[in-house]
Structure 1
């Protein structure tokens, strides 16, 4: 990072924010000013801050301006973490370059920024030069897939000679994970810049160097979690983290610390170790993996509450066979004397360590004396196609990890449009592991006039949704609403099966174009939807949070049912039961909180600009009748509410006239 110039007094945050807004051609927004001041106070007071900032607040500027000022003042980088690639690209390609140009004349130097991703997102020069083993076995795939992968591999090889960053996202069109894995390495496989023959020109190391010189480092929640949890630093030294899209933090961290075990995973470890250890030792692990595969194939999918004797014995066989291979590989520092096999040995150690440690972790998950003492949950995912049945293990809570590893020695700003669920930040704070005395919650509102701009319609007269697809009454209701709106509808469904069933049924009833997620790439479908106001788009989870379509193309958002997690979801059900065993309300802490978050995100698709008008229609009558309905309604924007279908249809006709 450029050194700070202590002779130059930095302007106050309000002045910098005014300069930024003016320079970017915007208008001052009260919520933005309030948020920027709060971020500065939190950073200066070493106190964590959770900020709910509705769509249109301009929260990116509200945290970037005080963050950049702090970086200039201290000489330490600040880290901005996002959940999605879309926001990362928005920050790095649009917001930060323009902001840096605008603030340059007001600061000691022009703010510098960099994006940093996990090592697997960068091309590995050593592996590209055949310095590492090829993990894949073509016999696992049909000839057409191998041929398509081969073409992608060839394109990556050609791109490797041209790219300056090695960043996978810059390879357009993209390639499959299968093809990319031939050219990338996991952090634990990496030889390290000092020992790798290609270390001096390593793309991942060059990205880290750029990040080390920046004032603002943009990364993702997964890498933020890895940096916090691992013994080795991944991100530059920093004392402030801004977590944007903070409602996603717990799920992303949970994904990072979830491990899995399958016959295919064990087979990969065998292939890597088999080149380096005696055949008999490798065969022992291969046989244990085959035993595991046979056992999992015969077992019912779902949560594993008690460890069956057969599974316990098989996991122990896998663990012990992996340890035998690790021992047979010899000392880990032997690579110094055997540089030709260094890459292969490192890859073998990583695969074997993961196999051994995951088997042991699964065995340990069953050692608790009671449900309240349980720390982890194990479940079996059924295989499909060529994906084998897979055993997974995850923590019941990541709050303790976040409290100790992420929040412990730095100031964290957490922000999103949806954090105050049921009108309170407490639910999210508990999931993050924050204690009552070390954080502040702030809702800066939204510039939108929700009661005048939108209607929340709950179809109280409909029957409760069942498990056997959409009732006929729901299809009738959707038809009438879309006809009144003249298309212009985003349909958010709780499952892909429901979205497809509604699409098929309504294409016969409606005269407007009807798109369904899966018909094409989601980004292309959203573009088609935005381009033609008569078009409707139906889909599931990614559309609840990923659609930004201002203007007349989106006047009606239909939500088919309250998006509770599936009753058979192994992680959600285990967390719910665990909280109940400790004396809490498992349903409200897990299921209702999950539903409130998604409902708020889904409803947030309606108003994306100051001129937008429209209706959010929730077909599930439980939102109006159930005891938990008040909590869910308290999580939604303050739209004008009604349960009268005639009023809603008339309002939609007026809006689209």
Structure 2
């Protein structure tokens, strides 16, 4: 029996055991993945909604791992999907394949170090994140009637959980705790003392997770760890020859954000204060450098710094590098010095600001992007606006492209399978392939295949473009609000309404609640999980939200019979990385708008429209309230990324359809 037949046999056994149905697209995916692994050729495989792509790659991964000396790495964009695969998909699959594999298979979960409880920090080996947050809690509960702060209560809850958890994984703590509380019991990779120095290394949950991963057949991780492995060459993952990247349409953005750096005067002052407090060293000159940086960042416009560093800012960064290097040299611990969490934290902060300052000074040589940001705050009547320009900005640095580093750190010498429901645009994979390093001179060979979807989109869905509406602006127009009202009234609810900004979602919910009979749920008014569950349970409710909902909602049935998209999800005009990439492509003779903004929008549109049809019985309408989809030259390109639903611009027809869909 050849490898494809063996894998298809495992798929058949799993499907029968779970009471499912054979899906041709899933079979095609299994065959292509097996062939790619066998021939050591990179593969991009688009598997539409309903294909069952997780099983389509997990079965080939398990079949391959039976005889591989190294684990297969499976990477996802989000911790949520990572946990779903390990907590639900893999156990069900392994149970269904009992006796069908040559030996029992071990699948392990691996996250970044800060996702695990640190035993040494919990025991007081590190200084408190906030002075007094942990206070001096006795091992036994104090006298009844004692009132603690919410943070202290959360930390006590974490201490109790630490007594019986076997993994120390934050996601296993239900209900969870705030980020502030979790920081009291966790450390970053830089703050960690390391297994050679930590007195509690034998009980370290992070090290135990890495040990399990090194012995596993398949390791489920995320794009952030993959980015650290590819860009920084650190051994955060076990050595591997095969990687399968799920949600691969997210890889470029996730990698970019994972390896971006940021520097502000406050961060430098915090590092200086930590060094003074925990290392007893003079930091006056470093403090002066921080104030020089603060002065240079005050009043400066936010956005892309396409003309490079101003002289004053460059001088401040050079001073920060020199002074950080000097303080690090003065605080270097002796070889046999006892573990000191405070010193390690202080030195890690110094190292981080020095490394980022060096990157910022070398952006031209590194082909990196410099830009400034300020926090955004909610202001009544104005929505989310940027802080006052008089507030010192934060200086940021990010790679202009991740293609070269991914080619070198991920694809070179390995076999990589990339999959998603949205990888191709108009049957072409070139755009995603190019952004990840698979195009151009010296690029490795690869194959792109679309295994389709089991859904009959022309019969199950209608794509309505509101051609008559005015071109959308920054604010929600009255015409757009009226259109949303008419569509929801016709459908009787059951609408997922996707906005490109949080401000628009909240404004629309506030204005339309008095005008509609249907209940309107809005992102931010509850946990995402509870909102989606409520939306699914009440078939006539509506859910308004932003980008998280564009990709995170799976509600089959008539609870989601209408998906409304307020406008084409182009990157924000002031997004510095998109702007820099657009300008760079234009300088090299390409069409920056189409390759960056339009491609970004096409993939996001496909993700949003994909919320509608989630099963073979679903029917409904996707309504795009952006007339440019029908009038602009790039409209055809954008529509080419969407499922092949029946198209119309006739509002009367759509209102009639929605009334008939009303339960």
- Tell me how far 1:277 sits from its aligned partner: 4.5
2:196 equivalent among 190, 194, 199: 194
Instruction: Supply the distance in 1 between the matched residues of 2:515 and 2:4 (Cα, whole angstroms).
Output: 63
Contact 1:133 1:272 in 2 (8 A): no
Q: Which moved more, 1:127-136 or 1:449-458?
A: 127-136
Contact 1:285 1:321 in 2 (8 A): yes
Structure 2 equivalent of residue 55 of structure 1: 49
Structure 1 equivalent of residue 8 of structure 2: 14
- Tell me how far 1:104 sits from its aligned partner: 2.5
Instruction: Please list, as runs of the form range in 1=range in 2, the aligned pairs for 1:22-421 lying within 5 A after superposition.
Output: 22-136=16-130, 147-277=149-279, 279-280=281-282, 282-306=283-307, 307-330=309-332, 334-341=333-340, 343-365=341-363, 367=364, 375-383=367-375, 389-421=393-425
Instruction: Please list, as runs of the form range in 1=range in 2, the aligned pairs for 1:562-601 lying within 5 A after superposition.
Output: 562-601=568-607
Structure 1 equivalent of residue 482 of structure 2: 476
For residue 378 of structure 1, give the secondary structure of its aligned residue in structure 2. strand
Instruction: Supply the distance in 1 between the matched residues of 2:274 and 2:162 (Cα, whole angstroms).
Output: 25
Contact 2:73 2:220 in 1 (8 A): yes
The superposition leaves residues 231-267 of structure 1 with CA deviations (integer Å, 9 ceiling, x where unpaired) of 3312222211110011111111001110000123213
The superposition leaves residues 495-540 of structure 1 with CA deviations (integer Å, 9 ceiling, x where unpaired) of 1111112112211211111111111222211111111111111111
Structure 2 equivalent of residue 143 of structure 1: none
Instruction: Supply the distance in 2 between the matched residues of 1:652 and 1:190 (Cα, whole angstroms).
Output: 57
Structure 2 equivalent of residue 494 of structure 1: 500
Contact 2:302 2:373 in 1 (8 A): yes
Residue 61 to residue 519, structure 1, CA distance change in 2 (3 Å): same
Contact 2:4 2:35 in 1 (8 A): no
Unaligned runs of 5+ in 1: 1-7, 140-145, 369-373
- Tell me how far 1:299 sits from its aligned partner: 2.1
Residue 11 to residue 112, structure 1, CA distance change in 2 (3 Å): farther
Residue 305 to residue 11, structure 1, CA distance change in 2 (3 Å): closer
- Tell me how far 1:229 sits from its aligned partner: 2.6
Instruction: Supply the distance in 1 between the matched residues of 2:487 and 2:375 (Cα, whole angstroms).
Output: 39
For residue 543 of structure 2, give the secondary structure of its aligned residue in structure 1. strand
Q: Flag the structure with higher helix content.
A: 1
1:546 maps onto 2:558 in alignment: no
For residue 63 of structure 1, give the secondary structure of its aligned residue in structure 2. helix
1:441 equivalent among 448, 452, 461: 448
Instruction: Supply the distance in 1 between the matched residues of 2:392 and 2:121 (Cα, whole angstroms).
Output: 27
Instruction: Supply the distance in 2 between the matched residues of 1:457 and 1:189 (Cα, whole angstroms).
Output: 52
Residue 491 to residue 9, structure 1, CA distance change in 2 (3 Å): closer
The superposition leaves residues 156-182 of structure 1 with CA deviations (integer Å, 9 ceiling, x where unpaired) of 222222211111111222222222122
Structure 1 equivalent of residue 648 of structure 2: 642
- Tell me how far 1:384 sits from its aligned partner: 5.1
Contact 1:475 1:502 in 2 (8 A): yes
Instruction: Supply the distance in 2 between the matched residues of 1:268 and 1:178 (Cα, whole angstroms).
Output: 17
Instruction: Supply the distance in 2 between the matched residues of 1:33 and 1:9 (Cα, whole angstroms).
Output: 13
Structure 1 equivalent of residue 473 of structure 2: 466
Instruction: Supply the distance in 1 between the matched residues of 2:251 and 2:120 (Cα, whole angstroms).
Output: 33
- Tell me how far 1:9 sits from its aligned partner: 10
- Tell me how far 1:151 sits from its aligned partner: 2.4
For residue 532 of structure 2, give the secondary structure of its aligned residue in structure 1. helix
For residue 474 of structure 1, give the secondary structure of its aligned residue in structure 2. helix
Residue 202 to residue 582, structure 1, CA distance change in 2 (3 Å): same
Q: Which moved more, 1:505-514 or 1:613-622?
A: 505-514
For residue 12 of structure 1, give the secondary structure of its aligned residue in structure 2. helix
Instruction: Supply the distance in 2 between the matched residues of 1:566 and 1:389 (Cα, whole angstroms).
Output: 19
When normalised by structure 2's length, the TM-score is 0.92
Q: Which moved more, 1:497-506 or 1:597-606?
A: 497-506
Instruction: Supply the distance in 2 between the matched residues of 1:553 and 1:294 (Cα, whole angstroms).
Output: 54
Instruction: Supply the distance in 2 between the matched residues of 1:498 and 1:346 (Cα, whole angstroms).
Output: 44
Instruction: Supply the distance in 2 between the matched residues of 1:434 and 1:649 (Cα, whole angstroms).
Output: 45
1:532 maps onto 2:538 in alignment: yes
Structure 1 equivalent of residue 141 of structure 2: none
- Tell me how far 1:278 sits from its aligned partner: 5.0
For residue 80 of structure 1, give the secondary structure of its aligned residue in structure 2. strand
- Tell me how far 1:335 sits from its aligned partner: 4.2
Residue 335 to residue 555, structure 1, CA distance change in 2 (3 Å): farther
Contact 1:515 1:535 in 2 (8 A): yes
For residue 558 of structure 1, give the secondary structure of its aligned residue in structure 2. strand
Residue 391 to residue 150, structure 1, CA distance change in 2 (3 Å): farther
For residue 66 of structure 2, give the secondary structure of its aligned residue in structure 1. helix
Residue 388 to residue 512, structure 1, CA distance change in 2 (3 Å): farther
Instruction: Supply the distance in 2 between the matched residues of 1:243 and 1:201 (Cα, whole angstroms).
Output: 31
For residue 298 of structure 1, give the secondary structure of its aligned residue in structure 2. coil
Residue 286 to residue 157, structure 1, CA distance change in 2 (3 Å): farther
Instruction: Supply the distance in 2 between the matched residues of 1:271 and 1:283 (Cα, whole angstroms).
Output: 10
Residue 63 to residue 52, structure 1, CA distance change in 2 (3 Å): same
Instruction: Supply the distance in 2 between the matched residues of 1:15 and 1:52 (Cα, whole angstroms).
Output: 22
1:631 maps onto 2:634 in alignment: no
Contact 1:100 1:112 in 2 (8 A): no
Instruction: Supply the distance in 1 between the matched residues of 2:586 and 2:631 (Cα, whole angstroms).
Output: 24
The superposition leaves residues 102-154 of structure 1 with CA deviations (integer Å, 9 ceiling, x where unpaired) of 22211221222111001110111111112223344579xxxxxx933222222
Instruction: Supply the distance in 2 between the matched residues of 1:477 and 1:233 (Cα, whole angstroms).
Output: 53
